[in-house]
A = this chain, B = another copy of it.
Amino acid sequence: MSDEQDYPGYREPTLSVLKRFGATVWSEIRARTTRGEFEGLVLPRSETADEHHVSLKLASGYNVGLRHDTIEDVVKLGFRRAEYAVPEEEFPYDPAKPRVILLGTGGTIASRLDYRTGAVIPAFSPGELYGSVPELADVCNLETEKLFGVFSENIGAEHWRILAERCGRAIEEGYQGIVIGHGTDTMHHTAAALTYMVRDTPIPIVLVGSQRSSDRPSSDAAQNLINATSVAAHGDVAEVLVCMFGPTSERYNLLHRGTRVRKMHSSFRSTFRTLGDVPLAMVEKGKIELIQRDFLKRDPERRPDVHACFEDRTTLLYYYPNMNADVIHGLLDHGYRGIVLAGTGLGHVNSAAFPALERARDEGVQVYMTLQTLWGFVQMYVYETGREILERGVVPLGNMLPEVAYVKLGWALARWPDDPEQVRAFMTTPVHHDMTPREPVEGYLVFQGGVPEVQEFLRTIWM
């Protein structure tokens, strides 16, 4: 057989190492490496993968990449036949159900477990998805379109623009809802970007992903996809949303606003949290239970306002003690037009930064203040330092999250490149609750929605 059949995706120099030990793809092996011993299943490599690593699926469900030159010995333990194709069944069409489009960007949401091999197999066409998650057919008529395949840490303004424009067209095409499959690393940034780029959407735009790929027993992929699709098809919230695992064990998802959500844990499924507010809704088996009532409602008559633009010379800077002003001067030297600071306390940086802030003001660079505490409000009138920073032209942004402020500023600077006053007015105007007048008592640290005894307890202690 050819290398492509036995070692799909592998290239030199790794290919030779596998051939030396006869470790074809789907072999179970024990590899001794300079970094320890690993036992698992040799996985095929994608076309875009590098040429230096063997992909091994461990019993834990995690994959590990073994660099070819660290491999000292390989013992072949067995072989499991691969199942490449997802069993495809035609997605049933029901004229009574809404039409939803699932836009693919990358990430593991649309993948499926092959139970015999333990491998993750991409499932993305409607037929493949129906074969993997048949419940989707109860929700809507699903169509899919792959826009690009990018790890979410590599998603940037270019992808936001493509997504925003595609959302605009999908609205014109009459879909009743949009679902966007997205890697979780930067899902909250993309949700914020689409909030500003696609204003007044008449239908829900729901981002979804999974923290654990569908080949792990604890995967959240299917539940997330069912609930996100239900929100897109039937939900009444016509905003840009994130629908991900809720805090309790496999019971429900939480629906977060794109402007108030942040990824707060690297590996937990309940990683996405609404900060400084309560989530919009709980979604359990596709059923939406609203927590908030104040949102933009679905309205097929509304025309969306799409502006897919972003000023690349925008940056976000988390202040740290002992910071030298040259960090800010460096940004100004490189021509940055907008800076979001995440200050300490109520919105502070050290006085060493003041000359750089004065330079930014004098050069017309817009500087805004948010908080690295993530919870709470910028209040720059309380202390001397805050007032001194205000005098240097830094504009406070209430309880806007630093990452949201960064995305909002980049968008506003591109939207009104010659009108700094308009940019400032927009930045300080609440949009989809990116700033709120106050924080509910359950808004700090954790929202334990739907559990009355804990809600009551939280109300008691967080006053």
Contact = CB atoms under 8 A, between A and B. Distances in A.
Interface of A: 49-50, 53, 62-65, 67, 151-157, 183-186, 189-190, 247-249, 263-268, 270-271, 273, 310, 312, 314-318, 320-324, 326-327, 330-331, 333-334, 342-352, 371, 373-379, 381-385, 387-388, 402-403, 406, 410, 444-446, 448, 451, 453-454, 457, 460-463
Contacts of A446: 445-446
Instruction: Among A320, A331, A445, find the residue whose CB has the most chain B CB atoms closer than 10 A.
Output: A320
7 contacts: A153-B321, A153-B343, A156-B321, A157-B321, A266-B377, A330-B334, A448-B461
Contacts of A451: 457
Contact of A382 (B63, B248, B324): B63
A46 B198 CA distance: 50
A272 to B, nearest CB: 10
Given A266-B378, A377-B266, A382-B62, A152 B351 contact: no
A263 B345 contact: yes
Contact of A322 (B157, B333, B342, B382): B157
Contacts of A152: 344-345
A317 B327 CA distance: 10
A181 to B, nearest CB: 16
B460 A249 contact: yes
A227 to B, nearest CB: 18
Contacts of A346: 266-267
Contact of A265 (B322, B342, B444, B460): B444
Nearest to A330: B330
A239 to B, nearest CB: 20
Contacts of A376: 265-268, 271
A454 B345 CA distance: 29
A65 B271 contact: no
User: Would you list the 4 A-B pairs with minimal beta carbon distance, nearest first?
Assistant: A266-B376, A330-B330, A185-B345, A156-B322
B457 A151 contact: no
A151 B249 contact: no
A419 to B, nearest CB: 22
Contacts of A352: 154, 156
B153 A266 contact: no
A376 B272 CA distance: 13
A303 B226 CA distance: 61
Contacts of A315: 320, 323, 327
